[in-house]
Amino acid sequence: MLSQISSFLNSGANIIWFMIVLPAVFGVAARFSGKRYAARLMISVLSAAVNLLFALSLYLSESFYVVIPFASHGLDIALNVNEYSAMFLAFAAAGFLVVSLYSVEFLKGESCAGLFMLYLNISIAMINGALLSDNLGIMLFFWEGLLCTLFGMLLINNRQNPKAAVKALVLSGTADLLLMLGIIITVYQAGTPYVSQMQKLPVTGIAGIGFVCMMLGAVGKAGSLPFHTWIPEAAGDAPTPFLAAFPGMLEKFLGIYLAVRIVTDIYDLRPGSGMSIAVMALGTLTIIVGVAMALIQKDMKRLLAYHAISQVGYMVLGIGTALPVGIIGGIFHMLNNTAYKSCLFMTAGSIERQTGTTDLRKIGGLAKHMPVTAACFIVSGLAIAGVPPFSGFFSKELVFDAALESNVVFYAGALLGAFMTAVSFLKMGRAAFAGELKLPENEKYGQEPGIKRAQEPNSRLVRESGFGMLLPMCALAVPSILFGVANTWPLDSLISPALEYTESYSGWPHSAVLVLISLVVLALAVCDHIYGSRKSGSAINAADHIHYAPVLRNIYAAAEKGWFDPYNWTMRIVGAWSALCMFIERGVAWFYDVAAVGAAKGAGNLLHRIDNGSLSLYLAAAVAGVGIIVVIFLAV
């Protein structure tokens, strides 16, 4: 049956209708479902299931290529269904199903639910389009379409204070503009906008600029430095399903898909070259900055947002090595990351629903009352920290392997990141789940606007979340275990064939030294956590000794104030520029309003003194006039 579906999609422009337009139609239907939870659930599940079905059929079939002439030459809608793009398509569709289910359940009873589902569905439509596009221009169109849905989702419930939405739009938009510039240069250099027809371009000169721009645009979408500062702010403002879907899952797919494409198909990145080092440096920096900021957060969602940023750094580092092991590691890490990161966000959402807040200072000891949530958290936490035999360990090892082969500095940086990740999760896990039950007291419910509470903070009533939310959570926890224990399937059957690599990277990592070092780092992290929590007295403050260490304290303070935020720099420059323009404008206005008028009036006043009614003056002027004419006659 799947092959029938895929051949159906192959005919004509059906692929566009059914992979791109259909989700949008479902989204519109979901919008109008209003308060009817059941209808919305059905529509969303149906949409996601259909999408998944189509994606799977495309993956399991032969590759094919569809061209639909659209605009003038250069902008044909060229869709390339090959193993690589179809694999990502399937990943995205699976993730979309899980997130849809979770979102509908989470936003049950909220007025904004329909709008949210609309944006989510349109987003998947755009993502499908971007993943399928072979023409870089059309891909850009779909890519930028996500800006609208991003902005829309952040505006839900935040109309009066759209700070986070504007920041997201500006940063994401700038990344997209860089991508546009990169695409223009690339297309110009390559002579064709079709990726499948491109020869690998060398990364020098103008093409180098194109490479840099495109990479920045791609990884910026995924959430890497320097376009990352909107994610923590969004963590405060947006509904949690947004966090689970976007920074957790969908943007990563898109960003890493393009990044790998750039490195393998479009540009010829050599391991050890300057560009490669630059990309790796960016990745390492992202890892460290992300997790350093995460360490000091006290709010669960913000903390997880910073971790999401940090994890992207691993992917970028892996891809930047330009070694097959690195690239495979990067993609595998992305796959794992979507699973455990989204799961973590969902646990945060679950806690939020039940207690009304995700502030770690106000809650604690929830393990007894929310066992399933706690279990999912533990599984995902272990995966993200890189503990064997969970999936995160294996993907991290691949990335470490590649990093070590390139340069030991980057390896050290990645290890530092792993250390801090582990510390951070130990702190968060113990603070939220272990110990005595602690609930926010006398708190006004509805910290996030629009989220209403039906329950009082009473230990009798804090219970596990509903089935609808638990199901997606558990479904996402499963890959963390599965891809770790049985990593042959994803690595050798999925990813490697898609990239046409033949070496097998599955199974236990080859280098025992690497494994040993990683385990040592993990142990160090545990020790540090115990030391920290003993020193400060509670789990929540277990990282304070790092936070308030001599030099780090100042850096952290500056970061909290926003000194390192490129968005703030940009806004300051924009402000200065507009002040300059205003200054010039005032100058011009002064000239027209004050100077010119004053000159005319002054001249008039001057002449008036001569014309004052005295007849003798008139006669004198007349005689003087005769004299002037004499002079003229003499001169000519």
**Nearest Cα residue to 309 out of 388, 424, 397:** 424
Asked if residue 438 lies in contact with residue 312, where contact means CB atoms within 8 angstroms, the answer is no
Asked if residue 77 lies in contact with residue 39, where contact means CB atoms within 8 angstroms, the answer is no
Asked if residue 521 lies in contact with residue 414, where contact means CB atoms within 8 angstroms, the answer is no
Closer to another protein at the Cβ: 572 or 601? Answer: 601
Query: Residue 626, interface with another protein (CB under 8 A)?
Result: yes
Least distance in Å: CB of 594 to another protein?
A: 15
Closer to another protein at the Cβ: 32 or 592? Answer: 592
What does 364-402 look like in DSSP terms, one character per residue?
A: B-TTTT-HHHHHHHHHHHHHHHT-TTSHHHHHHHHHHHH
At position 148, the amino acid (one-letter code) is C
Closer to another protein at the Cβ: 534 or 609? Answer: 609
Closer to another protein at the Cβ: 557 or 620? Answer: 620
Least distance in Å: CB of 632 to another protein?
A: 5
- Chain residues 583-612 in contact with another protein, contact rule CB under 8 A: 600-601, 603-605, 607-608, 611
The piece of 138-146, 209-217, 323-331, 613-621 that touches another protein (CB under 8 A) is 613-621
Compute the distance between CA of residue 314 and CA of residue 385 in angstroms, rounded to an integer: 12
What does 394-441 look like in DSSP terms, one character per residue?
A: HHHHHHHHHHHHH-HHHHHHHHHHHHHHHHHHHHHHHHHHSSS-B---
The piece of 146-154, 294-302, 504-512, 614-622 that touches another protein (CB under 8 A) is 614-622
Compute the distance between CA of residue 557 and CA of residue 564 in angstroms, rounded to an integer: 11
Asked if residue 402 lies in contact with residue 325, where contact means CB atoms within 8 angstroms, the answer is yes
Over the window 501 to 540, marking each residue x when it contacts another protein by CB under 8 A and - when it does not, the resulting string is ----------------------------------------
The piece of 151-159, 274-282, 536-544, 618-626 that touches another protein (CB under 8 A) is 618-626
Compute the distance between CA of residue 256 and CA of residue 334 in angstroms, rounded to an integer: 8
Residue with tokens 């002040």: 579
Least distance in Å: CB of 146 to another protein?
A: 53
Least distance in Å: CB of 592 to another protein?
A: 11
Asked if residue 398 lies in contact with residue 315, where contact means CB atoms within 8 angstroms, the answer is no
Query: Residue 630, interface with another protein (CB under 8 A)?
Result: yes
Query: Residue 68, interface with another protein (CB under 8 A)?
Result: no
Query: Residue 618, interface with another protein (CB under 8 A)?
Result: yes
Query: Residue 628, interface with another protein (CB under 8 A)?
Result: yes
The piece of 365-373, 414-422, 572-580, 628-636 that touches another protein (CB under 8 A) is 628-636
The piece of 17-25, 125-133, 310-318, 619-627 that touches another protein (CB under 8 A) is 619-627
The CB-based long-range contact list for 71-74 (8 Å cut-off, 24+ gap) reads 74/135, 74/137, 74/187, 74/193
Distance, C-alpha 281 to centroid of its chain:
19
Query: Residue 636, interface with another protein (CB under 8 A)?
Result: yes
Least distance in Å: CB of 586 to another protein?
A: 22
Least distance in Å: CB of 588 to another protein?
A: 17
Q: How many residues bind another protein (CB under 8 A)?
A: 25
- The angle formed by the CA atoms of residues 570, 576 and 582, to the nearest 5 degrees, is 135
Closer to another protein at the Cβ: 562 or 602? Answer: 602
What is the CB-side half-sphere exposure of residue 446 using CA atoms within 13 A? Answer: 8
Compute the distance between CA of residue 412 and CA of residue 253 in angstroms, rounded to an integer: 27
Compute the distance between CA of residue 89 and CA of residue 203 in angstroms, rounded to an integer: 29
Closer to another protein at the Cβ: 71 or 621? Answer: 621
Query: Residue 629, interface with another protein (CB under 8 A)?
Result: yes
Query: Residue 621, interface with another protein (CB under 8 A)?
Result: yes
Over the window 544 to 583, marking each residue x when it contacts another protein by CB under 8 A and - when it does not, the resulting string is ----------------------------------------
Least distance in Å: CB of 579 to another protein?
A: 32
- Give the DSSP H or E segment for 450: none
Binding site for another protein (CB under 8 A): 600-601, 603-605, 607-608, 611, 613, 615, 617-619, 621-622, 624-626, 628-630, 632-633, 635-636
